[in-house]
Structure 1
Amino acid sequence: MRRIAVIGAGTMGNGIAHVFAQNGFKVHLIDVSQDALNKGIDTISSNLDRMLAKEKISVAEKETTLSNITSFTELEEGVLTTDLVVEAATENEALKLKIFKQLDEYCDANTILATNTSSISITKIAAATKRPEKVIGMHFMNPVPIMALVEIIRGYSTSDTTTQSIMDLSEKLGKIPTEVNDYPGFVANRILMPMINEAIETVHHGVAGVQEIDRVMKLGMAHPMGPLQLADFIGLDVCLSILNVMYNGFKNSKYAPSPLLVNMVTAGKMGVKSGEGFYDYTNSRKAEKISAQFEKNYK
């Protein structure tokens, strides 16, 4: 597999495109908006500049990485001739099912179709295609260029050949692939999101303030980032979406989203990307600072 299509130029999509391109793959970055594509490529360029400043890459490596990326606004054009498609669109089940139905029609029969979903059933996504054995979950962690883990999720019909191919490919990206089975939230979010939700409930019930809760988890539990700060970084809307998937999937009240989380998302408080969540990021330099702190903590 040498030619990769990545659907979605947002936070996860541009990070996935960055990692593939930096490792020598030809990447087709696809989004419905040229503005979104330009913003995604600008983000990749900025991230490469930070690596350049730290002498982790050369100017030539930066230029080669960017030259490996071609942008497309038409899905069919972007996925033609590719060996692997990684879907990183919004965490919306209906949208993903629509995309995979289209991919099944547009892509060569041998193309593997992967999704970066953080919680939605791989089996259900695969059922929208006529090639369920070639559909797999490839859940990268945010920020993609820094985090080593990739959850590899097998759907009910995902073949051994497809799974091994994606495991091997992840290692070529310098990642550590970990195979898990297809249940709501998989492993990472099945454990992480209830913790974040409980931290939000702790704020909601007035047990402690935001900074105090994060301080307890950082200093007492050796977490590199407090759960509320992490929720802001992930996106409160994404946290809510994942919790809803698990709540609907398991029918268990322990996954029910906190009313405070629901209200914040309804009010448009999404975290870093909206400028406000549990912390204030209205000054862009504050948002850059939290990203730099995250990178430092995970090095």
Structure 2
Amino acid sequence: MIVAVLGTGQRGRDVAQRCVRAGHEVRLRGTDASDVMDRVDEIRRAFNRDLSAGIDGTTGLESAVSGSGIVIDATDGGTDSHREVVAETETMVEDETLIAVSDTSLSVTAVATGLRSPDRAVGLNLVDPPDGAIVEVVIAEQTTAATRDRVTDFVESLDASPVVVRDTPGFAALRLELATIAEAVRMVEDGVAGIRDIDRTFERGDSDRDGPLVRADRHGLETVLTALEDLADRLDERFEPPALLRRKVEDGQRGAVTGEGFYVWEEGTPTAGADPDPDVPTRDSEPEFR
């Protein structure tokens, strides 16, 4: 299948690389020619510079989407920007072409109002890590069962399991991720356990998945804070950011990118908890427990 991926940011790169790995013919479209080719080269390097890897880059929208079976809009911008992108795309593709939006901060239903045939709109989100086993399929109010089934088939072609979710703020994966991170931060605030021990509890000692606090640092604490604020506004106070998270962002401790968040980072690796472990009292060390 020809897959058109719009956007050369990290989301666009991840989507394009996943589709190339699955054997699809990918056309990556961006607005800056140099940036497009840099991204194409990155993806080819991931495949040992195999020039037969099925990806080409372009700055032309029509040359990207013409003849495609699915267009995945991974551009940056708000609802209006995505609505304009998909509306213009629709004029250049066949009636049966699927149009997907890859952005966890947007309502797919709202973006789909820009289409003449909104029944073919759907959300498509790679769940971290982007080469992992799960891909979210977001069903907008306009999405038909036929579109859902075609998109889940496409996801299975990526050697991934489709998770079908309703078009609600944060969808499923992001809501679970943020809820887990927020509770882990509150546990640090409350002195329940040390940072590493909280993460180890989540990992259960043998998981390949990082704990919630190291993942928060990798995401960037400012990004996590903004996402929690957004969900708190659109859902409820369950997602109100913990005070400790706000304080770290205000103090410039923003995670791996700054070298310190909940962990101290060296060369991209967490080396130690940034805050001292709490003194967990025993009965004979704390008079009030006697």
Q: TM-score range by the shorter chain?
A: 0.7 to 0.9
So what's the TM-score if we normalise by structure 2? 0.78
Q: 1:55 corresponds to which residue? A: none
Match of 1:174 in 2: 159
Aligned length: 270
Greater RCO, 1 or 2 (C-alpha within 8 Å, sep 6+): 1
Tell me, yes or no, if structure 1 residue 162 matches structure 2 residue 147.
yes
Residues in 2 aligned to 1:125 and 1:262: alpha-carbon distance in whole angstroms: 31
Partner Cα separation in structure 2 for residue 201 and residue 91 of structure 1: 32
CA distances 1:248-292 after superposition (whole Å, capped 9, x unpaired): 322x111123344456557776544566543445625x39xxxxx
Which structure shows the bigger proportion of residues in helix conformation?
A: 1
Q: Per the alignment, do residues 102 and 198 of structure 1 end up closer, same or farther by CA in structure 2, a change over 3 Å counting?
A: farther
2:242 aligns to what? Answer: 258
When the two chains are superposed, the root-mean-square deviation of aligned CA atoms in Å is: 3.1
Q: Which residue of 1 aligns with 2:178?
A: 193
- 1:86 paired residue number: 72
CA offset at residue 164 of structure 1? Answer: 0.8
- Looking at structure 2, the residues matched to 108 and 151 of structure 1 have their Cα atoms a distance apart, in angstroms, of 24
Matches within 5 A, 1:26-41: 26-41=25-40
Deviations 1:164-204 (A, max 9, x none): 11111111121111212222122222222111122233445
State which structure, 1 or 2, has the greater radius of gyration over its C-alpha atoms.
2
Aligned amino acid, residue 152 of structure 2: M
> In the alignment, which of 144, 152, 155 is matched to residue 130 of structure 2?
144
Q: What residue in structure 2 maps to residue 3 of structure 1?
A: 2
Question: Aligned with 1:64: secondary structure?
Answer: coil
- Picking from 83, 86, 95, the partner of 1:97 is 83
TM-score by length of 1: 0.76
Supply the distance in 2 between the matched residues of 1:3 and 1:86 (Cα, whole angstroms): 11
- In the alignment, what sits opposite 2:101? 115
Counterparts of 1:263 and 1:94 in 2: how far apart (Å)?
33
Aligned residues with identical type, % of pairs: 28
Instruction: State how far apart, in whole Å, the 2-side matches of 1:269 and 1:44 are.
Output: 32
Q: What is the match of residue 287 of structure 2?
A: none
Q: Which residue of 1 aligns with 2:276?
A: none
Name the amino acid aligned to 1:193.
L
Judged with a 3 Å threshold, the aligned counterparts in structure 2 of structure 1 residues 233 and 103 are, in CA distance, closer, same or farther, namely: farther
* Match in the other structure for 2:52: 64
2:234 corresponds in structure 1 to 249
- Structure 1 residues not aligned, in runs of 5+: 50-58, 288-299
**Higher mean C-alpha deviation, range 110-119 or range 196-205:** 196-205
